Amino acid sequence: QAKALGKGRFIFFDDSMRQQLMANLNLEHELRKALREEQFVLHFQKITDLHSEKIEQGETLGFETLLRWQHPQRGLLSPGDFLEVAEESGLIIDIECWVLATVAKQLQSWDQQGDYPNTFVSVNLSPRQLQQKNQVNQLIGIIHKHFLQPERLILEFNERAFVQSPEQSLQALKMLKSAGVKLALDDYGYGLSSLNYLSNYPFAFIKLHQSFVKSLKNNERNLTLARSLHELGDSFGFRLVAEGVETQAQLELVKQAGCDYAQGYFISRPQAADLSEDVDDNGDDDVIDCA
Ligand code: C2E
Ligand code: MG
Ligand code: MG
Ligand code: MG
């Protein structure tokens, strides 16, 4: 915000700004330590295929990976508690490298145990990952290093990742698609929700934000909008995913709205997967090299 005031102006730091700054610096310091000491944890939330017959025990399309931080004093933290500082400091790049490597191990472990055959794993990525071409190449390198089957990986971005430099981010998405991964537009129906991304960006999935899903109950026009999006998806080649489904009624509505997949507390809460059952236990491939 200080930047927005422009150069050559006096900027007054009051006590609360100073406190905020100190708190952020401290958080950044703690995040660095968290990376070194592996305090991060992944939770997974099931994504269900709405076309299967019994939704409650429906086919699993896959799992969305949600980052958690097991903070030594403050307990289990959610991205809302630290993501901003992680992004501003650039630490998010290393954190997401850890996320990808850990997800790859989880997928391997599920495969070895015969659990969830052929499911996808969906990972949220920061806008930073798309900002520079060499950053994208580094990301692709990490993916190819860790994932035997990149086509089972979905990368989620929300519009924040594209607004600043639409051309560069489109190039980046095309590079990622060529590298074999699938792409998802997260939180659609919240904020700008530009149509341009639907028609010109190579998304395999459009995820409807939970506020839009909630609105379906008493907003007939949004229901119509969702159905039209589904039809657009048929021509443009994307599938619709409903986020934040919390009730049976919402589940019925998102089906009526033409959503192909759904996730939410009603279907399954995000939870830790048990990596402790890791089959390969010689320890040496546990080292994650993210430099
Ligand atoms: P998102 O990707 O849109 O994820 C959905 C959020 O809604 C998650 O919050 C999830 O726990 C929550 N949720 C799931 N089902 C329900 C439901 O039925 N009702 C309600 N009210 N909420 C539900 P969470 O885990 O706090 O994550 C918040 C956001 O943080 C995510 O939103 C995603 O944008 C971001 N995020 C998570 N992990 C990462 C990561 O590794 N990297 C980056 N850059 N962002 C991440
Ligand atoms: Mg997401
Ligand atoms: Mg979302
Ligand atoms: Mg269809």
**Alpha-carbon torsion 78, 43, 133, 193, what sign?**
negative
Residue whose CA is closest, atom 25 of ligand 1? 66
Query: d(Cα 65, Cα 46) in Å, to the nearest integer?
Result: 9
- Side-chain half-sphere exposure of 30, counting CA atoms within 13 A: 19
Residues with CB under 5 A from ligand 3 (ion): 186-187, 243
| Ligand 1 pocket, residue 283 CB under 6 Å | no
Residues 34-65: pLDDT tens digits?
999 999 999 999 999 998 765 555 678 899 99
Residue whose CA is closest, atom 29 of ligand 1? 79
| Ligand 1 pocket, residue 186 CB under 6 Å | yes
Residue whose CA is closest, atom 13 of ligand 1? 244
Ligand 1 test: best mutation among 77, 100, 124, most atoms within 8 Å of CB? 124
Structure-token pair, residue 212: 């839009």
Residue whose CA is closest, atom 27 of ligand 1? 79
Residue whose CA is closest, atom 33 of ligand 1? 124
> Which of 88, 76, 112, 85 has the alpha carbon at shortest distance from 31?
85
Cα(261) to centroid(ligand 4), Å: 11
Q: How confident is the model at residue 282 (pLDDT cuts 50, 70, 90)?
A: very low
Structure-token pair, residue 148: 């035997």
CA 233 vs CA 30, 62, 180, 237: distances in Å: 43, 20, 20, 5
Type of residue at 94: D
Residues 94-141: pLDDT tens digits?
999 999 999 999 999 999 998 888 899 999 999 999 999 999 999 999
| Ligand 1 pocket, residue 169 CB under 6 Å | no
Helix residue ranges per DSSP H, the chain:
15-36, 83-89, 92-113, 133-146, 160-163, 166-178, 195-200, 210-215, 220-236, 248-256
